């Protein structure tokens, strides 16, 4: 019996010593970033403010200069809304109207380069 107990004690000791040990090691690791799940950013828009221009001022009285060429037509000045204020566009002598051509006024010229330079003057 003593032999059996001694064998069992040695066997138990052997099993536990097999798993016991000293481990020395160096680990190199790279941190793995945690995936970030994002949804679309909500778009918040505010409506543009409605700009209501003040009433148009009364027409200015202009002195009509002499006609440069017979047949030309005087196109009177008018008020134009430009850069959030009313600006007076001076009148001019225009070429006579021909058949098939549209008649242009100072109002249209003011927006397309004809008299736009006048807006900057004070």
φ/ψ of residue 116, rounded to 5: -65, -30
The pLDDT of residue 12 is above 50: yes
Confidence of residue 22 (pLDDT cuts 50, 70, 90): low
In a domain, 104, yes or no: yes
In a domain, 92, yes or no: yes
Q: Quote the pLDDT of residue 112.
A: 45
- In whole angstroms, what is the distance from residue 115 CA to residue 80 CA? 11
Q: Residues 24-31: what's their mean pLDDT? A: 70
- In whole angstroms, what is the distance from residue 106 CA to residue 79 CA? 10
pTM of the predicted model, to two decimals? 0.40
In a domain, 93, yes or no: yes
Q: Which of 1-10, 33-42, 83-92 shows the lowest mean pLDDT across its residues?
A: 1-10
Q: Residues 48-69: what's their mean pLDDT? A: 87
In a domain, 96, yes or no: yes
Which helix (H) or strand (E) covers residue 82, if one does? Answer: strand 78-82
In a domain, 79, yes or no: yes
Number of structural domains (the chain) is 1
In a domain, 65, yes or no: no
CB 87 within 8 Å of CB 78: no
In a domain, 13, yes or no: no
Per the prediction, the chain carries an average pLDDT of: 74
Residue 111 sits in which domain range?
A: 73-120
Confidence of residue 34 (pLDDT cuts 50, 70, 90): confident
In a domain, 110, yes or no: yes
The pLDDT of residue 79 is above 90: yes
């Amino acid at each position: 019996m003593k032999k059996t107990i001694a064998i069992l004690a040695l066997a138990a000791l052997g099993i536990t010593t097999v798993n016991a040990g000293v481990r020395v090691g160096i680990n190199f690791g790279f941190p793995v970033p945690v995936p970030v799940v994002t949804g679309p950013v909500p778009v918040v828009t505010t409506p543009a403010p409605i700009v209501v221009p003040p009433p148009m001022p009364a027409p200015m009285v202009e002195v009509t200069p002499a006609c440069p060429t017979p047949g030309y037509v005087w196109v009177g000045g008018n008020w134009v809304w430009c850069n959030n204020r009313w600006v007076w566009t001076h009148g001019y002598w225009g070429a006579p109207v021909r058949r098939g051509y549209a008649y242009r006024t100072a109002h249209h010229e003011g927006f397309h380069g004809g008299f736009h330079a006048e807006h900057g003057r004070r």
